[in-house]
Amino acid sequence: MHQFDALGLEENLMKAITEMGYTQPTPIQEKSIPILLSGTKDFIGLAQTGTGKTAAFGLPLLQLINTADKFPQALIVCPTRELCLQIVTEIEKFKKHKRGMEVVAVYGGASIGLQIRTIKRGIQIVVATPGRLIDLIERKAINLHEIRYVVLDEADEMLNMGFQDDIEFILQNTPKKESTWLFSATMPPEIRKVSKKYMNEPAEVTVGQVNTANVNIDHQYFIVASHHRYEALKRLIDFNPGIYGIIFTRTKADAQEIAEKLTREGYDIDALHGDLSQQQRDAVMGQFRDKTLQLLIATDVAARGIDVKDITHVINYELPDDTEVYTHRSGRTGRAGKTGVCMSIVHSREIGKLRQIERIIKVPMHKLEIPSGKDVCRKQFFAFMDKIIHTQINDESYEAYVPILIEKFADMSKEDILKRVAAMEFDRFLKYYETAEDLNVRERSRTFDKFSRDGRSERGRDQGRERSAYRDTQGRSFKGGDQFTRLFVNLGTKDGFYKASFLQFVLDMSDMKKESLGRIDMRELNSWVEVEKKSASRMIASINGKKFKGRNIRMNEADSR
């Protein structure tokens, strides 16, 4: 077994990590630390989140930086405020026995004045999100001219979030850097481009397979009809009583609506999406971290960079459009050697997408059935019994009450008492699930099972057959060639819309870009929207059935009516 001693770290750092309980380096640490300690080599580390990247770059930085110089020497750029704070927290722990080393977190949504004052006090390491850093550069409140090391953490996420120009700007504003270290979970062409432009023959270290999901994660999927998605979600939550999880939706409207519905139904859940103020976001994250909230529902953008320990489940309420995003979502669970489950609620049309994801994560996804009402009750019941059996009792506190209890229940059998206790917890639950319908898509499941067993070419053929069979039953048109599908919506000028506001409304609801839309025709009561063919079902799924001023919105393909 490899130990930290062999990596060349100085005494004070060894002492700190030993106190933190690190006994062996993780693979990324073992491979990167010796290279990075040389200080002069550009570096690309391909590793998933949760693999110990922070120590892999943090420890060498702390060793390389000159504590006598009280100006910024190292810059770590990361995609989100949460990640920024996590990195700083870790670095603070690593530098516990190192004197004269100061680090600052620079991120949006917090007082810039305070950050500027901290910078002025003389710090050596800056950990920053791109937006706020550029703000500081433009205000001339930070001097990056003496920066020797630039670390780009979660580079792929930063590009996903549209920070490419910002990163280039930052790299151009660090003229004296001796080396650039780039960490990323995936290696899309954009990152290659950045590395080619700004890095000099970087050493490349890969841990595990790039684009590969963690083997500690069990990937499961459940096929349901679109209108059963919400019910299926509830069942999956109820079937996993100890769940501590993140649910992903494609749109903020979905995240908000589902959170509200589930809260009304008694679940511990809150939503994280772009519309929240930083304060609200902090409050939600705080509650989730300390487990007051059992479930968090979030859009991909809002959840980026969040690192919460011990997530048991990730649930994809819908699959992401971009299959690579699946890896980011599922990577929230199964961290630090723990096991986790990533469950995806999918529609029959998405089987092709599942296969694409399988190719990326390089492990099979398991098709499971949505549990029946009975299964859910049984599972909850066993969990409840376990809870009773394992409840910690402080004997002294109950000393006075036990004789009264014994007297009160003297005429009641043990069986009767247990029944009553169970009824208190379960009556509502049993009633709800008594008549629960089967949510699995049955007729088609044979074809899907075949998918799982068959080879790729067979799969491809079946996939086509399956798709056309589905479309036939929906009575959809098959007109190929044109770029757009025309969608009907039962909203019009009478609802207070004019074209621009209506355009904004559909974009907000579906989280799509303006470029995906074509013509909009508005009448008093109805409208028609042209949307790119490939995005039509997503738009329908995001809008159809939602409420507008208390009325159900209906959206469907215009040609199918």
**Binding region for ligand AMP (CB under 6 A):** 22, 24-26, 29, 49-55, 307, 336
Which is closer to ligand AMP, CB of 57 or CB of 267? 57
| Burial class (CB within 10 angstroms; exposed 0-12, middle 13-18, buried 19+) of 394 | exposed
State how far Cα 12 lies from the chain centre: 35
Which is closer to ligand AMP, CB of 105 or CB of 269? 105
To ligand AMP, the closest distance from the beta carbon of 337 in angstroms equals: 9
Tokens of 483: 């770029």
To ligand AMP, the closest distance from the beta carbon of 185 in angstroms equals: 10
Q: Tell me the β-bridge partners of 486.
A: 530
CA angle (401 as vertex; 395, 402 as ends), nearest 5: 70
To ligand AMP, the closest distance from the beta carbon of 251 in angstroms equals: 28
Q: Tell me the β-bridge partners of 249.
A: 299
Look at residues 235, 298, 276 and name the one whose alpha carbon lies nearest to residue 432: 235
To ligand AMP, the closest distance from the beta carbon of 145 in angstroms equals: 29
CA angle (212 as vertex; 234, 456 as ends), nearest 5: 85
User: Under 8 Å CB-to-CB from 129, ≥6 apart: which residues?
Assistant: 77, 78, 79, 80, 81, 84, 106, 107, 108
Which is closer to ligand AMP, CB of 7 or CB of 522? 7
> Cα dihedral sign for 68, 70, 71, 73?
positive
Give yes or no for a contact between 323 and 352, defined as CB atoms under 8 angstroms apart: no
To ligand AMP, the closest distance from the beta carbon of 33 in angstroms equals: 10
Q: What torsion, rounded to 10 degrees, do the Cα atoms 553, 555, 560, 561 define?
A: 30
Which is closer to ligand AMP, CB of 54 or CB of 516? 54
The letter for the amino acid at 495 is D
Q: How many helices (H) and strands (E) does the chain have?
A: 23, 20
To ligand AMP, the closest distance from the beta carbon of 291 in angstroms equals: 16
| Burial class (CB within 10 angstroms; exposed 0-12, middle 13-18, buried 19+) of 396 | exposed
Give yes or no for a contact between 139 and 90, defined as CB atoms under 8 angstroms apart: no
Which is closer to ligand AMP, CB of 24 or CB of 143? 24
Which is closer to ligand AMP, CB of 29 or CB of 485? 29
Give yes or no for a contact between 307 and 285, defined as CB atoms under 8 angstroms apart: no
To ligand AMP, the closest distance from the beta carbon of 59 in angstroms equals: 10
Give yes or no for a contact between 71 and 146, defined as CB atoms under 8 angstroms apart: yes
Which is closer to ligand AMP, CB of 307 or CB of 511? 307
Which is closer to ligand AMP, CB of 50 or CB of 320? 50
- Pairwise CA distance, residues 257 & 268, whole Å: 14
To ligand AMP, the closest distance from the beta carbon of 312 in angstroms equals: 17
Which is closer to ligand AMP, CB of 21 or CB of 364? 21
Which is closer to ligand AMP, CB of 211 or CB of 516? 211
To ligand AMP, the closest distance from the beta carbon of 336 in angstroms equals: 5
Which is closer to ligand AMP, CB of 185 or CB of 555? 185
To ligand AMP, the closest distance from the beta carbon of 38 in angstroms equals: 21
To ligand AMP, the closest distance from the beta carbon of 49 in angstroms equals: 6
Q: Find tokens 């989280």 and name the residue.
A: 511
- Pairwise CA distance, residues 88 & 260, whole Å: 34
Q: Residue 296 — φ and ψ, nearest 5°?
A: -125, 135
User: Under 8 Å CB-to-CB from 456, ≥6 apart: which residues?
Assistant: none
To ligand AMP, the closest distance from the beta carbon of 245 in angstroms equals: 19
Give yes or no for a contact between 365 and 221, defined as CB atoms under 8 angstroms apart: yes
What is the number of other CB atoms lying within 10 angstroms of the CB of residue 247?
28
Which is closer to ligand AMP, CB of 26 or CB of 184? 26
Look at residues 232, 255, 231, 343 and name the one whose alpha carbon lies nearest to residue 303: 255
